[in-house]
Amino acid sequence: MKTIFLKCLLFCFVVPLFGDFVDGDENEKLNVLFISADDMNCDLSIYGNQQVKTPNLQRLAEMGVRFDNAYCQQPLCGPSRASLMTGLRPDTLDMHTLKHELREKNPDVVTLGQMFRNQGYFSARAGKIYHYGNPSMIGTDGNDDPQTWDQRYNPVGIDRSQQEKITRYGAGREKDKNLGISMAWWDPDSRDEEHTDGMVASKIVELIKEKKGEPFFLAAGFFNPHCPYVAPKKYFDLYPLESIEMPDLESAKKDLEDVPPMAVMRDKRNWPYYFKDVTVEEARKCKQAYYATISFVDAQVGRLLDALEEADLMEKTIIVFWSDHGYFLGEKGLWYKHKAFERSARMPMIIAAPGLSKNVASQKPVELLDLYPTLADLCGLQAPSALEGSSLRPLLVNPKDPSWDKPAVTQIWHNRKAWGYSLRNERFRYTEWLQGKAGRELYDHAKDPEEIDNLADQAKYEGMVVELSKQLEAYVRLTPEKKPK
């Protein structure tokens, strides 16, 4: 009894003090540095791939919590970013494509940056936060939402202004083809600041210095490692081509034998690598280039962290790093995103907040739409009541918090007749295509992290399929009676 009394006493005195330190008071609002990468998967040193050099993301992870099982709401830039910035699922927003329709369909939505603006913060971005065609929309506002920001910056680097120098493979070899979906690369002898992402970092560094005396929400939107894979040559040199390994294509083909056709309907026509006539060696070069662009982004993250330190703002700033979804680099013979598999739905996410856990990882499944309520919570702001995510504060305090039991749900939308939903809990991934009518998938991540063996049709997992299907049903909105426009 004495022990319980002492624990309660400790909780009563320590927890309120801890909460005050995190939230600050009216005169000491926490800043937010919101850093995004485009199409970045978890092939990073901080997630166990020691080949891919990301020392600055490692530095950030040591300052906060690395989420090892973070998932997007849809592995496609437009709906994923709209969902993240509104805290609402793609079905709620009625957004499933790359169309610029956030305000058209949701005129009264309060976005993340808009919430900060409304409550006394300076809100600005440089680069890509909402969807931009890359590289076609670089230098424009793309599909941006002006109500989110006080200021917006759209730099243009040589990756856009000199894109005729980019080497292209497959169906995109022709010079007039869109580079927004391509297997293409360029490794110029150049300075970081000659590239769009280097300019994005420079602008955010400038704003940190300029706005250090007032509360800010600053978003650095990096375009890399989205194709075309362009970065200064020094980053390519980190990855000798002979060190880049490619999956065996015969084994890759077998991986897809038990997968419902709808799961890879966009990928099988020119399998492998999505484009016709791409060789293994060309794919190897693109994988090298993808890794190079990751290290390029990592260097820009380092510049941002340095700027916060120089401005003496580390203890006053929440830092968030995220990507909009994952990415295939030849696994299962696949390339790109837009799939319900783990490599497409999972992406890196790190949160470093003053007074909260440091240098730890959480294995709990979380979602990108959890970021909105998390930042509102940590900054003591009033968030819209309709948010569909949950604050990650419990996991930032205790990354193993046993009370966190919600799954992560990712959806795929190919067209009105082809869509699916995928649920990820701590052990299993379960996917239904057209509510099971076009197939199901079940993968046991404790035994099969690469999702090679689909267990959905095995008799001994029948009960598990029924249970997970019932859980998933609560998130399924694209029924035959209600389809997206």
Q: Which two tokens mark 95?
A: 């957004």
Neighbouring CB atoms inside 10 A of 199's CB total: 20
Selection from 310, 395, 387, 388 nearest residue 361 by Cα: 395
Which of the following is catalytic: 96, 131, 195, 338?
131
Helix (H) or strand (E) holding 420: strand 418-424
Selection from 252, 267, 284 nearest residue 451 by Cα: 252
Selection from 289, 275, 310 nearest residue 239 by Cα: 289
Sign (positive/negative) of CA torsion 74, 350, 378, 365? positive
Beta strand segments in 204-292, E: 216-221, 229-230
Selection from 377, 364, 376 nearest residue 19 by Cα: 377
Neighbouring CB atoms inside 10 A of 461's CB total: 18
* SS3 assignment, position 12: helix
Active site residue 131: yes
Active site residue 77: yes
CA angle 28, 32, 34 (to 5 degrees): 180
Phi and psi, residue 140, nearest 5°: -115, 180
Q: Cα torsion at 385, 388, 392, 394 (round to 10°)?
A: 70
Which of the following is catalytic: 42, 72, 77, 379?
77
What is the Cα gyration radius of the chain?
A: 22
- Cα(122)–Cα(132) distance, integer angstroms: 23
Beta strand segments in 140-233, E: 151-153, 167-169, 183-186, 216-221, 229-230
- Cα(210)–Cα(82) distance, integer angstroms: 28
Contacts of 456 (CB under 8 A, 6+ apart): 430, 439, 440, 441, 442, 465
Question: Which residues are known to be catalytic?
Answer: 77, 131
